[in-house]
Every structure is written in structure tokens, then in C-alpha cells.
Amino acid sequence: VCSSDLGLGRMGVPMALNLVNAGHQVTVYNRSADKTVALTEAGASAVTRPADLGAGAEVVFTMISNDAALEDVTSGPDGVLATMAAGSILVDMSTVTPACSARVAEAATKCSVAYIRAPVSGSVVFAVAKTLTILASGPTQAYETCKPLFELMGGKIFHVGQDEQARYLKLTLNMMVGITAGMAAEALAFSERGGVEWDVLLEVVANSAVASPLIGYKRAPMAARDWTPAFPANQMAKDFDMALDTARDLCTPLPITALVRQYWSTMMATGRGNNDFFGCLELLEEQAGIKPKSS
Amino acid sequence: VCSSDLGLGRMGVPMALNLVNAGHQVTVYNRSADKTVALTEAGASAVTRPADLGAGAEVVFTMISNDAALEDVTSGPDGVLATMAAGSILVDMSTVTPACSARVAEAATKCSVAYIRAPVSGSVVFAVAKTLTILASGPTQAYETCKPLFELMGGKIFHVGQDEQARYLKLTLNMMVGITAGMAAEALAFSERGGVEWDVLLEVVANSAVASPLIGYKRAPMAARDWTPAFPANQMAKDFDMALDTARDLCTPLPITALVRQYWSTMMATGRGNNDFFGCLELLEEQAGIKPKSS
Amino acid sequence: VCSSDLGLGRMGVPMALNLVNAGHQVTVYNRSADKTVALTEAGASAVTRPADLGAGAEVVFTMISNDAALEDVTSGPDGVLATMAAGSILVDMSTVTPACSARVAEAATKCSVAYIRAPVSGSVVFAVAKTLTILASGPTQAYETCKPLFELMGGKIFHVGQDEQARYLKLTLNMMVGITAGMAAEALAFSERGGVEWDVLLEVVANSAVASPLIGYKRAPMAARDWTPAFPANQMAKDFDMALDTARDLCTPLPITALVRQYWSTMMATGRGNNDFFGCLELLEEQAGIKPKSS
Amino acid sequence: VCSSDLGLGRMGVPMALNLVNAGHQVTVYNRSADKTVALTEAGASAVTRPADLGAGAEVVFTMISNDAALEDVTSGPDGVLATMAAGSILVDMSTVTPACSARVAEAATKCSVAYIRAPVSGSVVFAVAKTLTILASGPTQAYETCKPLFELMGGKIFHVGQDEQARYLKLTLNMMVGITAGMAAEALAFSERGGVEWDVLLEVVANSAVASPLIGYKRAPMAARDWTPAFPANQMAKDFDMALDTARDLCTPLPITALVRQYWSTMMATGRGNNDFFGCLELLEEQAGIKPKSS
């Protein structure tokens, strides 16, 4: 399969590299050309405009940072849809709102391009290890075509519907991931104030009924009080905003999400926006009068 | 070891039975005598007053329903501490507040009785299967004496401190368990409103970074929309109240806990207090205008 | 009318003094005898046990600090009900829970004493100025007897029901008073962050549709950033706890109350428990990254 | 003064009429021409494109419904700034975000047009009665020019800063107005559940320290349970969204606003989006298990 990759940030590069390394013919584009070096060294071709990716590609992958950027590189004046062949497939793996995705879907349909939404769950480590979770929705036939490519990038792949379902699911997981941090923050601060030793506390929680994989990943950084971001609070703020904006459209109340969203604001307001989102623990400790521990 | 068991509800009976079946000499008491039948048939002796349990027992276990009951059966006029020998051990496995537990500790100390707080995490199924999590705090020597007995009842046993630490930890876990339900409720209702099929939704969440064991246990009942209580909302309300009351004493804010606590009130106010606490999903569905599905 | 007054704190003294100054024969009791000096100098008699107040009094007023104290001085072993004559009236003007008040009601009924719940709204300044709001519930005839006495203490007097209605109403007003502070805190911090000058901000709010009398009273202290307590945060915490505990009994959700309650905990945890409850403004400013202004 | 008015909805028409009736030469524009009839009958001229309003106007007033519409009619291709003379004044009286307003400010500056932000507080009744509150910010000289015109429309006029201050203040008031409804809802439902009669409850609250003018306006509709909108929940949702979006930009937490925002979603999701926002009382009653009263 001849594919093209567009958007080569921290996630996009390892994902594209997995395709290149599997022997696929890959053409890449990124706004900052220096991001493509690792890929061209591995055998990919690089182009200088999104539109240059479209012609000849069977599948075009996009992995970009927000709604506006996705619309720009797909249906914008210089976007890739302009040059994609009828019958080819556009696969967007970004985290964007269902509303934005639906507009891209409409643009793709006009160009007779099949459109697969395939947001991923998991951080850079997972992208490198090919263990991302990929939530895909869109037409079954196009999904089946892409599946072997997805298998080069992810460990768990779900086909979850014919339309925007993958978008809603991605936001659902993000909400739960973020709320887990807020929940842990208050629950842990509570036991700290009660005199439980920090390591004992983490040990018990990590062996409990609420010990999700996420709690497992965060145990060591919490133990070390190391807030180097696997995912920074200011990014989590953006993900929460997508969920909350979508919930406005759906008239669906999200009381806990709305509450925890405020923590990301406070982290940003107090110089901690680039800390990992689990660093919201510090906020609840401060509000409980606990002296911050050194990291 | 000769032990005595006091408080034989849904949890207490299988826990005591595990001791009896292991060959220990066990004397039992329960307010309602019919609860002791299964135990006496298995070889336990039964008495008719808490105080009758104390004499001769090396270890007395209590497993009762709330603060007032624990104080009643331990340090009350007819309580077991009155007859326990100096050097014997009182092990309370109930979920009570640290404040109540500290009063019991004081009473035990006056009687030269060692006191182990050993609240358990896990439901009846776990009690039967001897896979409860036991969080114990209290003097190390007494803990070591009890450990072989704990191993007959639980799968994971932690010694978490010398004082009330186990109480705080138990409430911490309960908070997280309850909040997980509230979090799932709004996150799932969101995707439902977005058009994701219920089974797909549960499949994805159950395979995600937030898929705690708890989410795993609840997947089948959620799929079936079966709110038969593993743990009813009105009991969760009581557990949350213990956490919130303790947080008042600690001057520790628990914003999410306080918010989710309101869901248990609404469940009770709308005839769902005996439903499993994961049934709060229905509240969020209703608030999102989703027609309740049949169970 | 010959009356007796019990509980002479910051509120009780000026209230009793208004009765004495109007020419009523008043006997007083307070746990700390020094609190009664101002009253005996004005012409009141003082006794040394609550029970000594009961005999001969047509009306006994109580104004104490919490549930336990009210039960102690009324239905406790040395309580005033023991000596009150059948047909006399017990008027409790404290802020207590409906549950406690109902127990006092039961005890009063057993003694054939009529019982009026008459909690007051307003601070010490209002007590002195005889402008308290008095919310009374209880039997109409007893209320009518007390009304002339209430008119010596308050400016607005309502008869709101035959039972515990006054208790619920008092807690309702307290909730709204406390939430107003939390609401002002976030709304004002928002405009501060937006660059609105503090005095302009207060001027506009004080002239808006939300400018309640309370907002009016608090304008000057907010302008001066003077958190000298008219009502301290740790007292507001107790009032909120009464409301929240009562809401548990009623299975009634109080989401905003529950959230704002956490602010009082943080104020206490961070050394501000004795500040006026409107001082929660500082919390929201800190969470918004606003440098605290000097008071 | 020769002025032009643009945007003639429920608020805009009476506001413009007050200018016409005071003898000012007024030219008007509205997307739907039928809205201008009452004004042309009173002596105003009407035009058919926003740009036609600009030439010759000393002051142009805009009163439109949202951010996008404001940018469209001011700085859009056919917007009024294109034809306004250098030195003339653009006065926007709409409720829009500071972010949008700042973009309009930039466009006005490029055209050497002075820009006054002058959002109003108060509903249609106030607009008719010339008792609106007008919060104005922008250059002092332009403000002074407009002040006599503002005095024809409003009863309280504040000059609150040189830039976007009026925008922040308007959102601040809206937040407090909306939260007041949420606060009243839970506080009133609480007393209802406690057995207080509805009329008594409203009487007491309307005479309390929290009895803001807003509570006064809403007393009669609440008594009648008449949710005919003075301001519908779905509009309040939009106002809250402007506040929350602006708070995201400011990194300022708004926990209560965020929570109450969810009520507007539920009102919309359950067929009550066009009810007055004080109708959120019904939600809290339902959540407390109170049977809805007939209106």
C-alpha cells in the first residue's frame, strides 16, 4: 500500500516510522520540515505542501493538533483532499471534535474519498511500541483496507461505527483519564492528611479494585513526585474543552468533567500547565494544607 | 488460636466460616441468633451476649455495620472489652470512621487489649473466595499474630501503620470506587448521546487505560443493565458520609466526592436506593434526555 | 411576662438585654457566669443551673451553639424542661438541625410544655438594633404569646408552620448566604483577571440585579479586603454541615452547597478559618493565579 | 447627534425607539426588515445593508446576538466599519466575549473609529422603561460623547475602563444571575422537602439578606410556577459558555459556574430549554423526589 503521512509531531513520527519500517512506500509532510528527517532517512519521501501528498496515495493519514489544523490540511485551499483520487482513503488519527470531523466527512464525500476517523489512545511510548489503542469509525470496506496498516501501529484496534463514533469514544476515554487524576488527587490527599505514608498509600491503591492501567503507569511518577509530562495539564485542558464543547452540542451534562476542568486552569494559572496532569495532586494537597513534598 | 467472632452479616458469616473450616476454635455472636446457624453447624460455638465472647478468646473479631454498633459491642456496658483478657487482641474488620475507631482504641488500651483495625475491601463473593483485601493497622506484634488468620480470609493483606491508617485507606478506596461510578455514568451517557452502541462502548472502556478491576466487574451488569446490588447506593451513601465527615475533621476538601454524594441522595429520593451504585448511570442518562433502556 | 434566658453568647446577650430593657422580669443562665454580668447589672436575675430557670418562668428562651448543647440544657438530666410548668413555653432561637429540634419537641411534649422553634437570621449588629429576622414555627397559640417578645428582638417576624419548618428555613437562608460568598468569589476573581479595577467591580456588582442586602453589607469589607469576621468560615462550615446532614436525611441533593462547603475546609486548612466567610474570595484568586492584595 | 442602529431584536427595538423618540436622527438596519417597521413609523430611516449605515453617522450602535454576528456586521466585508468616517464612534451594546470584542477593537482602530463596548444588563421591560444598566468601557472622550445617548436608554451608566472591562463585567453579572437560580433551586427544594409551604418559603427568602432584586423579580413567577421566559435557559447556556470560554483564556477556575452550566444542558435535553432559567428549580425538585407542581 502506498500511503502518505501528514502531521509529524511527537506521536506522528513514530507512527509513520512503523509504516516505513514495515516496507510501505510512504510520503510525508510536516509544517516544520525538520520533523521529517528521521522518516526520510528511514526511506520515506517528503513533500512541502499538504496538497502534494494527495496524488497517487491510496491512504492518507493525518495526525495533527486541533480542529482548525485538521480542516486546514484536509479541506483548506491547500489541503490534501484537493488532490486525492476518488476511491482513496483519508484516515485522521488526531483527537478532534465530532463537529469538526463531520465537516471533514462532508468535504471528503464531495471528493469521493472514503473517510476513516481513527483517533488513538496512548502516549508516545505506546506509539513507539506499536501498542496504541486505535478507535476507528467509518465505512466498513475502507476500514478493512486500513486494518493491516493499523496493526502496524497499534495493539488494540476497534471498529466502532460507521460515522463519528470513534470521536465520541476518544473523548469519553480522555474524560475518564483526566477525572481519574482528579479523583486520585483528592482521595490521596485525604489519606495523607490522615497520616498514611505516601508509599504505603500508593501500594494499596495500586493493588485495589480501582487500580486501572492508568493508575499503574502513574504509580512510579507519583512515588517520585515527578510531574514530567507524559501528558501535560494544558493539553488535557484542550481535550476536556473538546468534550465539554461537544457536550454542549449534545445537551449532555458532564458535572465531574466540568469540575475537574477547573483544575487544569488552576495548574496553568499557577505555573504548572506543563506538568503532567496527575500533578493536580499538588492542588488538592495545598487546599488541604499539606506542605508540598519535594519532587 | 482460639478466636471469637462478632457480627455475622453478609460479610461476617463467610469470613468466620473460613476460620472455622480451617480448624480454629471459634465462638460466635450475632444480634439475630439465626445468623449463627451456619457457623454452629460447621463447628462454632455461639453465645448470646457480646460480653460472653471475651473470656478465653485470644483474638476477637468484629464485623458490624456502623460506628454506633461498633462502640456498643466493644466498649458499651455489655461490650466484649469488659471480659477480654489483658494481652488478647481485638480485631475490628468493619468500615467505621477514624474518629470512632480512635475511641475504641482508647477503650482497648484501658483494658490492655491490643487493637488491630482491619477493614476489608471486596464484596461477599470475595469473602467466600478468601480473596478480600485486608488493610490492617495497629501494633506490629499483634498484627503478626493475626496475620495467619487474615490469610484464611483474604488474598491481599497490608500492614499500613500503627494507628488509624487502615481506616483512612479504606475510606480512600471507597471514595474512588464510588467516584468511578459517577465518572463512568457521565462518560458513558456522553457517548450514548453521540450514537455509540452500548456494547461497543463497554467493550472499548473495558479495554482502555481506565479499565480498573472494578470497571471489569461491572461490565456484565452494565451490559445487562442489571442493578441488582453488589453494593447498594444507600450503603455507598453511608460510606461517602464517613469519608466526608472525616474530611470535615481533617479540613480536607473532597470536591468530587461531595458532588457524587448527591447522586446517592437522588437515587434514594427516586426509589433507586437499593440499586447497585453503578445504577447512577440512569441519572446521568435521564439528565441527558436519554430514554432509560429496559434492564 | 416573666421569662428566662439561657445561652448568652455574642447573640444571646443583646437579645436578652432587649427583653430586660423593655421591663420584663428576666432570669438568666450561662455556662460561663461572667457573660451574665451585663444582664444582672441591667436588672436580670441569674441562676447557676439550667434547671433553676424553669420554675416560675412563663417563657424560657434558649440560644446556644449546637445540637448537643441544646439537648443538654433542655432535656438533659439538669435541663430546664425538668422544672418548667405545664403550659409554659420553651422557645429555642438557636440554629440547630431539624432532627435535634424534633427530639427536643418530643421531650417538651412529654412535659406538656409548648415548644416554639425561633431561629434568627442576622448578626450581632442586628441583635443590638432589634432588627433580627425571626423565623418561628410551632403551635399558633404559643407563637401569639411570644410574638410581643419577639418584637422586642427582631424587625421581621414570620410564623412559618406548626412543626420544624423554621429549622429548614434557617438552614435554607444560611446555604444561600454561604453560596453567595462562593459565587461572588469566582465571579469577582474572573473580572479581576480580566483587568477590571477592584473598586469599579464592587461598584457595579453592588448596583446590579444580584445586589442582595448581603452583597451590600459585604461591599465595604471587600473593598478594604478586611476579613474580620462578621461570621467566620469555621462557623459557616458548621451551618453548612447542619444543612448537608439534614439533606442526607431528606435524600435531597445540594450540589452547590456541597461544593462550596469544601471552601470552608480549605480556609480552615490554610489558616483562615477565623476569617469572615467572604474571605473565600482569596481562595479563588489564588486558584486564578492572582497575587493576594494586602488587606 | 446623528446615529445609526444595527440589530433590532427584542432589546434593540425599544432601545433604538428611545433614541428616535428623543428627537435624534436615526438610521436603522436589521437582517429581517420587518423588525424596522416600528422604528421607521416613529421617524427613523432604514437601510438594507450594514455598510449603508456608516457614512454620515456620528455614532453607530450595534445590538446583535453573538460573536460571529458582531464581527460580520462590523468588520466583515459588508460591515459598517468600511464606511464609517474617521473620528466617528462604534458602540456595541451586545453581550459578546472579550476575545471577539478585542478583534472588533483592532478593526475599529485601523479605521480610526473610536470603539465603546457598552453591554447592557436588564431585560426587555427595562429597555422599554429606559432603566437598563449600561456598562461601558473604551476611550473616555468617546464615552462622554455617548453618555447623553446612554441616558436615553438606561438608568444606571458606568464607565468601567478603557478597554474590554465592560465585557468581563457583563459576563460576571450574568454568571451571578445564573448561579442565583441554581442556588435558589437547591435551597428551595430543600425546604420543600422539609415541609415548608411554597408561599411561606418565597415570602421568607424575599425578605432575607439574600433577597437581591433578581430574587424579587422572580418571586411572582416562582409563586405561580410560571416559567415563561424573561430569559430562557438556552440563552443562559450561551452566556455561560461565553464566560467559561473566556475563563479558559484567563486560566481562571469557575467551579460553580461550570456546575450550574450543566443544569442548562439538562433543561435543554429534557424539553425545557425555552423555559425561564429559574425553571431549573424543577430539576432539583425532581432530583429530590418532589412531584412537580402544576404551573
Each residue's pLDDT tens digit, D228-274: 999 999 999 999 999 999 999 999 999 999 999 999 999 999 999 99
C-alpha distance from A101 to closest chain D C-alpha (Å): 21
Q: Which residue has the higher pLDDT, B206 or D8?
A: B206
Instruction: Please answer yes or no on whether C177 and D209 come within 8 Å at the CB atom.
Output: yes
Place of cell 480451617: B22
CA distance C263 to A194: 19
Chain center to CA of D97: 12
pLDDT digits (tens, 9 = 90+) for B113-130: 999 999 999 888 899 999
What ipTM did this prediction achieve? 0.95
* Residues of C in Cβ contact (< 8 Å) with A288: 265-266, 269
- Calculate how close chain C gets to D4, using CA atoms only, in Å: 28
Which of D244, D253, D266 has its CB closest to that of A253?
D266
Model confidence pTM above 0.90: yes
Q: Which residue of C has its CA nearest to A265?
A: C288
Give chain D's residues under pLDDT 50.
Answer: none
CB spacing of D269 vs A258 below 8 angstroms: no
Mutation target among C287, C290, C291 for the A interface, most CBs of A within 10 A = C287
**Contact (CB, 8 A) for C295 and C275:** no
pLDDT above 60 for C1:
no
Tens digit of pLDDT at every position of chain A (295 positions): 567 777 778 889 999 999 999 999 999 998 888 888 989 999 999 998 888 888 889 999 999 989 999 999 999 998 999 999 999 999 999 999 999 999 999 999 999 999 999 999 988 889 999 999 999 999 999 999 999 999 999 999 999 999 999 999 999 999 999 999 999 999 999 999 999 999 999 999 999 999 999 999 999 999 999 999 999 999 999 999 999 999 999 999 999 999 999 999 999 999 999 999 999 999 999 999 998 776 5
Reported as a pLDDT band with limits 50, 70 and 90, residue B23 is very high
Residue of B250, B254, B261 to mutate for C, most C C-beta atoms under 10 A = B261
pLDDT, residue D2, reads: 64
3-state SS track over chain A: CEEEEECCCCCHHHHHHHHHHCCCEEEEECCCHHHHHHHHHCCCEECCCCHHHHCCCCEEEECCCCHHHHHHHHHCCCCHHHCCCCCCEEEECCCCCHHHHHHHHHHHHHCCCEEEECCEECCHHHHHHCCEEEEEECCHHHHHHHHHHHCCCEEEEEECCCCCHHHHHHHHHHHHHHHHHHHHHHHHHHHHHCCCCHHHHHHHHCCCCCCCHHHHHHHHHHHHCCCCCCCEHHHHHHHHHHHHHHHHHHCCCCHHHHHHHHHHHHHHHCCCCCCEHHHHHHHHHHHCCCCCCCC
Query: Average pLDDT, whole number, for chain D?
Result: 94
Kindly list the distances between the CA atom of residue C181 and the CA atoms of B10, C8, C231, C260, C261, in Å, as whole numbers in the listed order: 46, 28, 12, 9, 11
Residue of C35, C110, C147, C170 marked active site: C170
More confident residue, C5 or C277: C277
Cα D144 to Cα D78, D88, D121: the distances in Å are 29, 13, 20
Question: What local confidence, expressed as pLDDT, does residue B8 receive?
Answer: 73
In this predicted structure, the answer to whether residue B1 has a pLDDT above a threshold of 70 is no
Q: Is C170 marked active-site? A: yes
Instruction: Determine what percent of chain C falls in helix, strand and coil, rounding each to the nearest 5.
Output: 55, 15, 35
- SS3 category, B216: helix
What pLDDT is attached to residue C2?
64
> Cβ separation of A253 and D268 shorter than 8 Å?
no
Can you give the pLDDT at residue C8?
73
Q: What pLDDT, in 10s, does the model give residues C203-222?
A: 999 999 999 999 999 999 99
Confidence of residue C6 (pLDDT cuts 50, 70, 90): confident
Rounded CA-CA distance D201/D179 in Å is 19
Q: Mind telling me how many Å the CA of C34 is from chain B's nearest CA? A: 31
CB C43 within 8 A of CB C3: no
Retrieve residue C111's grid coordinates.
412535659
Q: Residue C158 and residue D210: Cβ atoms within 8 Å? A: no
Cα dihedral angle (A268, D238, B290, D270), rounded to 10 degrees? 140
Q: Which amino acid is at A217?
A: Y
